Structure 1
């Protein structure tokens, strides 16, 4: 039970690293003035650092169009650029919603206090299963992120070495094709620019991890609270033979039922806060993920260099998992809220008098309306949304392949 007592704080501890290095915060109200200045400095430093590379990439793309580069060459840089833009926007939206982030963290702790003495062995097994899955997801994504950094860090050096061995010519390369107002391959600047681009990639991955992991954590914990609420509703009416007579809807039962209704309202409020925090960034996430999956898939099918295929296969797999898990945890929260309807039906309401049944109907009616997260109202965040993202990506991919085939012919 020791793990359960500090479950939410333990989950936040697991994602603290990403927030520290991006300048984002989970509890800005508790920061001292010095900590606030430090966080803002780190965030602004990373924001300028990253967006300078985004501007350089966009400049390279514009120059490429003017110079008549092929679609394959133009799309080489675009997935990385769009992902960088997504990470930057996610972090900005998180900063703008800091007050709500503070509030939802406090509400989660309040709910944990309420449900602490309601956990039995059966529920504890379910909770441990949910927490283990969350940790598995974050570990998997962290591993992929490390692989991404390793691949993008090492691939230019490997290609430089191979070309030097074959031709005897030292041709410097950078991980990303950016335009600079100076010669980026000047040996006095090249090492700094190489490190700069690698840190920009780290910032992108850390910002996405920080915002997404907090989303996963909140969805998981709200699900845990719904499981505890379901248990309490099912046990509200004591098991009793019908022959004994109808159980009176007295003040004790009424008080317990009112506590459950308030608990349900708090969970609904938490889900709505999560919706406000993530609604706009989720819409952008869906749109950009469709583009990233499309362009990365296009690069994999058109590029013949094995090294680049490995790079983009890793990128494609990471992009698919990012949007899949985002939709999965949104779906998890929605299903958890709807499962409450079954628990209400199974709470032995038939042993109580009719006045209890009438009150119970109001709660059941509300539980039939799911607590759902949306992409700013345009789409629900669930597994169906993931299929829609894949469908959009495939449409863009087919169009791009058609244009590519026409250009080649």
Structure 2
């Protein structure tokens, strides 16, 4: 067989396999929603829930599908990764101690603070996996069924309650979160890689670097230590992205849907009306408010269940993000380099080092934004849920209670009194997850950053 015939044969095989792959992909897309799920396919499709559940499915923890191929294998792999992560945190703490003991060396300051920030991220990863995936998986399935029960599946109802507006906002948040989170995780291994390419272009010599800086009493560049560490850190960053995105989007989706249903409930109650002499209409109104009161009680239960699952995580997440934000902001500014200076360094072919003060601005600025954004969306959706729960009371007052009988007024009064108690997502009952907490979060991070900068300058 000649060379040309061999190339033609390979082309045919590639085209054939590509065609088969595309056909299978098209079939999967067409069959989407026909898989056996715990909730209705229309709910999954319209709420954009499949997007965040896809990340959890890779880890073996699908919330919407009843069965999943290789689910146990994926769960076991996730468990092993988390177990190794515990050892990795211990290694980071050991590196931190060594760096603190040698702070006279400038690079050790950066390594010590980076170890603290990274330890917070890995610890948060382990906690999210345990509380949400390993411990709260069955609870999520029950919550999904309750939320789906009162979701407006009818197309007319969806138009009436403007559900498209909620979906559009949820999609915007999801896409921004995807970009920021993956950017923050990908740039850690990408920066050393780009630096190595830059060094090779200048001197034809590759200087291998670590993705994460760790200070140890032996040669970390030895192949027996270097390659296992590099491969594990790549794997860890992948799992960080999957778990952080999956869990954050699970939280935002469920709280956003509960917010939407509370707003819909307030709208329905406010529209209850009948003619003054229509006794039959008043009876229907009484039956309607009893039914809506039951729905409101179920939504309160869903909110309480969400708070029970997320409360410990959100409390520790607030302080972990606070720790990471102030330390990484400190590293970014102490590096004494601006983005413009970085561009001039590249243009002038100056050497880009991975040590303190050279590409920290690029490496950590994205991380600062991603961490602040992570806590922002948690506070934003928690705040929206609280506001929506208070609107229910306003909706009861806007109904036609003033021309109703004493029976309707008593029911409306009880309903309104219960709705006046705001529903909240809390952090272990110590802090409310709302926008006021986010403002406190930013102010406190800035205070700690100023303290670190003052210590460094002195």
Of 222, 240, 247 in structure 2, the residue corresponding to residue 211 of structure 1 is 247
Q: Is the 8 A contact 2:110 2:331 kept in 1?
A: yes
SS of alignment partner, residue 171 of structure 1? coil
- Residue 79 (1) aligns with residue 117 (2): yes
SS of alignment partner, residue 116 of structure 1? coil
- Aligned residue in 2 for 1:293: 325
- Residue 194 (1) aligns with residue 226 (2): no
Q: Is the 8 A contact 2:60 2:71 kept in 1?
A: no
CA shift, 1:133, in A, is: 1.0
* 2: CA distance, partners of 1:38 / 1:366: 46
Q: Is the 8 A contact 1:283 1:375 kept in 2?
A: yes
Deviations 1:122-176 (A, max 9, x none): 534x311111111111111111223223321221122234445556664321110
- Aligned residue in 2 for 1:9: 44
- Aligned residue in 2 for 1:100: 139
Of 84, 90, 110 in structure 1, the residue corresponding to residue 128 of structure 2 is 90
CA shift, 1:318, in A, is: 0.4
Query: 5 Å matches for 1:6-405?
Result: 6-10=41-45, 11-26=48-63, 30-31=66-67, 37-68=72-103, 69-70=105-106, 71-94=109-132, 95-112=134-151, 115-117=152-154, 119-120=156-157, 123-124=160-161, 126-163=162-199, 170-178=206-214, 183-187=219-223, 190-238=226-274, 240=275, 244-245=276-277, 247=279, 251-304=283-336, 305-405=357-457
Is there any run of 5+ residues in structure 1 with no aligned partner, and where? none
CA shift, 1:288, in A, is: 0.8
Question: How many aligned positions are there?
Answer: 395
Q: Is the 8 A contact 1:22 1:46 kept in 2?
A: no
* 2: CA distance, partners of 1:386 / 1:288: 14
Deviations 1:362-391 (A, max 9, x none): 111111111111001111111011011112
Deviations 1:5-35 (A, max 9, x none): 745423331112210233434269x448x85
Deviations 1:217-248 (A, max 9, x none): 1011111211221232123223x3xxx54757
Q: Is the 8 A contact 2:199 2:206 kept in 1?
A: yes
TM-score, normalised by the number of residues in structure 1: 0.88
* 1: CA distance, partners of 2:111 / 2:454: 16
TM-score, normalised by the number of residues in structure 2: 0.79
Give the direction of change, closer, same or farther, for the CA distance of 1:7–1:365 in structure 2 (3 Å limit). Answer: farther
- Which structure is richer in relative contact order (CA contacts within 8 A, separation 6 or more)? 1
Q: Is the 8 A contact 2:125 2:244 kept in 1?
A: yes
* 2: CA distance, partners of 1:286 / 1:382: 12
CA shift, 1:399, in A, is: 1.6
CA shift, 1:99, in A, is: 2.7
Q: Is the 8 A contact 2:111 2:214 kept in 1?
A: no
Give the direction of change, closer, same or farther, for the CA distance of 1:8–1:382 in structure 2 (3 Å limit). Answer: farther
Q: Is the 8 A contact 1:56 1:179 kept in 2?
A: no
* 2: CA distance, partners of 1:203 / 1:5: 29
* 2: CA distance, partners of 1:193 / 1:101: 35
Q: Is the 8 A contact 1:8 1:221 kept in 2?
A: no
* 2: CA distance, partners of 1:332 / 1:361: 24
* 1: CA distance, partners of 2:130 / 2:373: 23
Q: Is the 8 A contact 2:40 2:148 kept in 1?
A: no
Deviations 1:184-214 (A, max 9, x none): 4234764453232122112112211111111
Deviations 1:23-61 (A, max 9, x none): 434269x448x8552243132122134334333222211
Q: Is the 8 A contact 1:249 1:353 kept in 2?
A: no
* 1: CA distance, partners of 2:77 / 2:96: 29
